[in-house]
A and B are shown apart, each in its own frame.
Chain A
Amino acid sequence: MPMTKREAMLKQLSTYQFAALDLQLYLDTHADDGRATEQMQRYKQQARTLRQQYEKLYGPLTKSSDDGNQWSWINGPWPWESEADN
């Protein structure tokens, strides 16, 4: 089962989100590390851009995201499913 375009885009977004999360965790105990802070901001910025692109094409990722209609939140695939499930 090769990755769909949607899954590939989500994986890219997840990569930047994860990089930011990992750094943010480090910064909880090293808040004065300026370089790490800057790097985290860069990852966050990348993630923000990718998320906007993803949501435009595939619908909201959170309840507070802008979305066209309630069905785009309700309808699948949900994170534990594949496209084929729907």
Chain B
Amino acid sequence: MFVYEKKLQYPVKIKTPNARLAKAIMSQLGGPDGELGAALRYLNQRYTMPAPELKAVLTDIGTEELNHVEMIGAILYQLTKDLTVDQIKAQGFDDYFVDHTTGVYPQSASGVPFTTAYIQSKGDAITDLHENLAAEQKARVTYDNILRLADDHDVKDAIRFLRAREVVHYQRFGEALRLLTDKMDAKNFYAFNPEFDKSCLVKNKRNRKA
């Protein structure tokens, strides 16, 4: 079950509002490669994973992505706090303001509302892990793009933390994929779906015992 801790995973302390930047960063909340998609993807894929290490990795990374959803929310809140209508107009925030004022709403930078169509849970462990490797790279590039657009030191600090985590998650999914294929018939990984054809996994194969 989920337990909430009344703190952010990493501090977000932004002093200067910037609605234009908020619009760009919004994609990491509600965009195609954002944290919300990541959290839903991993937390939904985990149920049918055929090995306990995979259930653990997906649960733990999925949970961390929810921490990141919250951090992005905090960034957006602080970037749009106490804006005047003149600032909203000058910073190109009019269209968002009409529908959401300065509320936090999951959409992409270009205004497309979040959709589950951004994620897949294919019910096949090899496929889902590849989806996840790609997702982490896409998220990393999105953060790279945000860093190119941002001048604010406080914003960049939080964004750099989030970007670094994407790289680590990519690493963990790579290891999970290796762990999975070690348990499968090396002659043909695609002969079976380990989530659906339960007997295809090599039972009790110990990979790392001394």
Contacts and interface: CB of A to CB of B under 8 A. Distances in A.
Contacts of A64: 3
A79 B53 contact: no
Interface residues of A, number: 28
Contacts of B176: 28-29
A28 B4 CA distance: 22
Contact of B6 (A21, A32, A62): A62
A26 B169 CA distance: 10
B9 A14 contact: yes
A29 B53 contact: yes
Interface in B73-102: 73-74, 77-78
Contacts of B64: 21, 25
A79 B8 contact: yes
A25 B9 CA distance: 15
A75 B61 CA distance: 30
Contact of A11 (B3, B11, B175, B210): B11
A28 B51 CA distance: 11
Interface of B: 3-13, 15, 53, 56-57, 60-61, 64, 70, 73-74, 77-78, 168, 172, 175-176, 179, 208-210
Interface of A: 1, 3, 7, 10-11, 13-14, 18, 21-22, 24-26, 28-32, 60-64, 73, 78-80, 82
22 contacts: A1-B15, A3-B13, A10-B7, A14-B7, A14-B8, A18-B9, A22-B168, A25-B64, A25-B172, A28-B60, A29-B175, A29-B179, A31-B53, A32-B210, A61-B5, A61-B6, A61-B7, A64-B3, A79-B7, A79-B70, A80-B73, A82-B13
